[in-house]
Amino acid sequence: MSSYHFLGIMSSAFLAMWLGEFSTQAVGLGKYEPPAGCYIGAFVDRDFIVRGDFAKFQELTKKKHASYLTYVAYGRPFPRAWVEKVKAVGAAPHIALEPNEGLERVRDDAYLRRWAREAAAANCPIFLRFASEMNGAWTAYYGNPALYIQKFQLVSQVMQQEAPNVAMVWTPFAVPQENIPAYYPGDVYVDWVGVNIYSVYVHDGDAARRADHKDPVEFLRYVYNLYAHRKPIQISEFAATHYCKATKQATVDFAIEKMTRLYQSLKTQFPRVKMINWFCLDTIAVGLADNNYSLTDNERVLQTYRTLIADPYFLSDVPYHFARRPPPPKVEGAGTPASVSSEERLLDEALEHRGAVMTALSSVRISHLKNHQVVSGSLEIGVLFPLSLRPRYVMFVIDGRLSIVTNVAPFRCLLSKERLKAGTHTVKAIAYDADGKVHESETVTFTVM
């Protein structure tokens, strides 16, 4: 039994005096798990109406939220400024830390230790979702469950040692289901089990492949039945599309049906779902995918959400006690903060590999490079595929000429600075599937300084 769980049998008052830190829960409850009810949270950093203003989001939804979510690529610094914004509205940060360059970069080193110490210095509960959606082939850490488990356990151990305020969240995507258990890191290393669920109107952005009959409750039930007797369950991301680009139609009734179905089921069927987070983003407007999931730009959808979360069962606060701790010491080689001008670009790069994007992608897309982006130095680009496409190999066409061919996933292309002269260039990806069919991306234009 870990010292943290042993201390959980003591009174929170005694712990507060002894540790000067966080009180734990009653026996049988997970870290920060409420005895009853369900925390509400949301991702709103890129919503065009809210634009990361948590107070404005709460004003629109008529209820304080217990948590807010953001995405951080592994290798980037701890998002200290964002965490302080979340704390300012009395909420708990929920951070998806994603090793999108592969698991090999995840080591017990100065970067990870500093990240953990800064998390501890935040003096608040933090839900840390490491390497989520690992069961999906769209992630850079899919396909090797043993290595994945090793790296998740490593991160969990570092957080236990350096940041006892962090609750480790393990979150697969709702599908495919059959390989989910193979990636489970073990009860000692996981505080919450999550699942990402999306209700999309069509599959893979294909108007002929309707998905409106799919039930989000059944997606939840699979994970719930596997793990709810062991851990609190978190719906780490949920959304339902109210505008479908593939069919070019509003699907508001569909969105209302699905969100009502899921939120109302939690109280009656899934008492150990203790947190649910809405992914509030118009993926069409930001150029990521083909669904509008925003809560704020459709009054009927917004009003339905208000009505659902008005139930006192949905909780607005994550209780905790804390004492101020000094900031962590400087560690050489631990990374540098992103500039303000690059924050949205970094967030978009992290979002490119989410199930919210991949389940709605209608065509091959260049990743890690935006149209009309200005770059300097070497550049590594990748390719995103609809879930139905299983590529055999990919060709990258640079400035109209075949440049690189690869049959090795995740199908990356390194454009070295020696090969790219200053000026404007174009790139297109051409993928060949198992049947020999050709799938082309749109051409992306970029400028080299």
pLDDT, tens digit (0-9, with 9 covering 90-100), for 395-417: 888 888 887 888 877 788 887 76
- Mean pLDDT for all residues in the chain: 85
Q: What is the pTM of this model?
A: 0.80
What is the model's pLDDT at position 111?
A: 97
**Helix or strand run (H / E) with residue 366:** strand 365-367
44-81 pLDDT, tens per residue? 999 999 999 999 999 999 999 999 999 999 999 999 99
Please, what are the domains in the chain?
A: 31-315 (3.20.20.80), 364-448 (2.60.40.10)
SS3 label, residue 14: helix
User: Is pLDDT above 50 for 202?
Assistant: yes
Of the listed ranges 194-203, 214-223, 231-240, the least confidently predicted one is: 194-203
Q: Which residues have CB under 8 Å from 290's CB, separation 6+? A: 205, 244, 245, 246, 283, 284, 360, 361, 362
- The pLDDT assigned to 284 comes to 87
Mean pLDDT along residues 90-106: 95
pLDDT recorded at residue 342: 59
Would you place residue 364 in the very low, low, confident or very high pLDDT band (cuts 50, 70, 90)?
confident
Angle at 73 between CA 168 and CA 344, to 5 degrees: 125
Provide the angle, in degrees to the nearest 10, between the axes of the packed helices 54-61 and 80-88: 40
Q: Is there a cis peptide before residue 176, judged by omega within 30 degrees of 0?
A: yes
Question: What gap in Å lies between CA 114 and CA 126, rounded to an integer?
Answer: 16
Q: What are phi and psi of 376, to 5 degrees?
A: -140, 145
In angstroms, what CA-CA distances link 385 with 38, 304, 371, 446?
35, 33, 18, 21
Residue 360's pLDDT is 64
